[in-house]
Amino acid sequence: MRLQGRFFSLRQGKLSLERYIQEMRSLCAAITTSPLPESVKVLAFLNGLNSGPVRQELYLIKVKNAEEEE
C-alpha cells in the first residue's frame, strides 16, 4: 500500500517530463500485489502533470478516446 500512496501522490513539480514518466513507470512496475487499472494510472498521471500544454493536450486526447469508446 505504501507504493500506491507514493504513486498517487507523485507530482511532476520540478522534474523533467521524462523523469516524471520514468518515476510513474517504476512505481507502476513495483505495484504487483494489486495492480492498478489502466484508467486509474492514466488519471493519476494526468493529475500529477504540471499545468501547461502537455497536460492540456493529453487531457484532450483522453477525452476524445473516451468519447470514441461510448
**Domain coordinates in residue numbering, the chain:** 2-69
Average pLDDT over residues 26-45: 92
Buried b (16+ CB within 10 A) or exposed e, 43-70: ebbeebbeeeeebeeeeeeeeeeeeeee
Mean pLDDT across 39-49: 92
pTM for the model: 0.81
For residues 64 and 28, which has the higher predicted lDDT (pLDDT)?
Answer: 28
**Three-state secondary-structure class, residue 49:** coil
Give pLDDT, residue 10. 98
Mean pLDDT across the stretch 13-40? 94
